[in-house]
């Protein structure tokens, strides 16, 4: 693994498909701090329906069930089944409406003070203009509305991507390699010409086990004792710079 510019060019030239992680990769946030704000806001939203600590505990356990999903159900189905089993006092229909209200009306405000990288939109659009198939490979534990809101925080939309994972269209989660295999199957693409870009040594770099090339973004780096070696690693700014240089060279050909 080196930080040589030609390595990035080679990876881009041999990859028709590029998977991007969202949180900590395209979206420059500390996910642990963000989740603290998220849990406070969600708990407040449900304060009249269920006891707060029990609500958060059930939410975390149901999320953990999604992480362990074996593929028989969608992640959303796994979450819903486990969540409401632990909270029989909740009216399921009303609670589902409350979740929809939260993600549509209150979740977007959690990004009000998030600093975005001004180059993100440009780089994504340059890759797309060079006929790269772009896939947002964010861990599918959120509904589509929450993923779309986080994209808007950095000036992106669903139109920038050919496929976006969320909890209703996936049957596995990171770091299960089957998550990446499901993306490959859904998009009918091969790992040998697919590149995964992320900031997590375990959850994102494990894509290399399927034969994908991998790039590790070291901003908001998530280290792991069981992490996997990337094909290239460096800062978001350096990665963006090299993508822009590669794009200019392609346009000259």
Note the pLDDT of residue 6.
62
8 A C-beta contact, residue 111 and residue 28:
no
Note the pLDDT of residue 250.
87
Note the pLDDT of residue 54.
95
**Number of neighbours of residue 72 by Cβ within 10 angstroms:** 8
| Sign of the dihedral defined by the CA atoms of residues 108, 75, 183, 241, in that order | positive
Distances from the Cα of 129 to the Cα of 100, 132, 161, 179, angstroms: 34, 7, 12, 27
For the record, the structure tokens of 32 come out as 């642990």
Note the pLDDT of residue 72.
97
Note the pLDDT of residue 252.
80
Note the pLDDT of residue 1.
45
Give the burial string for 154-192 (b: 16+ CB within 10 Å, else e): bebeeebbbbbbbbeebbbbbbbebbbbbbbeeeebebe
Q: pLDDT truncated to tens, each residue of the chain (253 aa)?
A: 444 566 899 999 999 999 999 999 999 999 999 999 999 999 999 998 999 899 999 999 999 999 999 999 999 999 999 999 999 999 999 999 999 999 999 999 999 988 889 999 999 999 999 999 999 999 999 999 999 999 999 999 999 999 999 999 999 999 999 999 999 999 999 999 999 999 999 999 999 999 999 999 999 999 999 999 999 999 999 999 999 999 999 888 6
The rounded distance, in Å, linking the Cα atoms of 149 and 159 is 13
8 A C-beta contact, residue 215 and residue 197:
yes
Question: Please, how many CA atoms are within 13 Å of residue 144, restricted to the half-sphere of its CB?
Answer: 7
pTM, entire model: 0.95
Residue 103 gets which letter from DSSP? I
Rg, C-alpha atoms of the chain = 19
Note the pLDDT of residue 175.
98
């Amino acid at each position: 693994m080196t930080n040589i510019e030609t390595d990035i060019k080679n990876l881009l030239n041999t990859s028709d498909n590029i998977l991007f992680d969202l949180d900590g990769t395209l979206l420059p946030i500390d996910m642990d701090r963000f989740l603290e704000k998220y849990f406070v806001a969600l708990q407040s939203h449900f304060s009249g329906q269920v006891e707060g600590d029990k609500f958060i505990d059930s939410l975390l356990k149901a999320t953990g069930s999604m992480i362990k999903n074996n593929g028989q159900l969608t992640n959303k189905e796994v979450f819903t089944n486990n969540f409401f089993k632990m909270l029989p006092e909740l009216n399921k229909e009303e609670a589902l409406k409350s979740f929809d209200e939260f993600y549509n009306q209150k979740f977007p405000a959690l990004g009000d003070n998030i600093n975005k990288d001004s180059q993100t939109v440009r780089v994504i659009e340059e890759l797309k203009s060079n006929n790269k198939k772009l896939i947002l490979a964010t861990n599918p534990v959120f509904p589509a509305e929450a993923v779309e809101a986080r994209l808007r925080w950095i000036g992106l939309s669903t139109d920038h991507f050919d496929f976006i994972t969320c909890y209703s269209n996936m049957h596995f989660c990171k770091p299960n390699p089957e998550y990446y295999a499901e993306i490959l199957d859904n998009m009918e693409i091969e790992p040998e010409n697919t590149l995964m870009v992320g900031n997590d040594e375990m959850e994102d770099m494990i894509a290399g086990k399927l034969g994908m090339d991998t790039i590790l973004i070291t901003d908001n780096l998530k280290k792991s004792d069981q992490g996997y070696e990337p094909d290239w690693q460096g800062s978001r700014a350096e990665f963006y710079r090299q993508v822009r240089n590669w794009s200019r060279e392609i346009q000259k050909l």
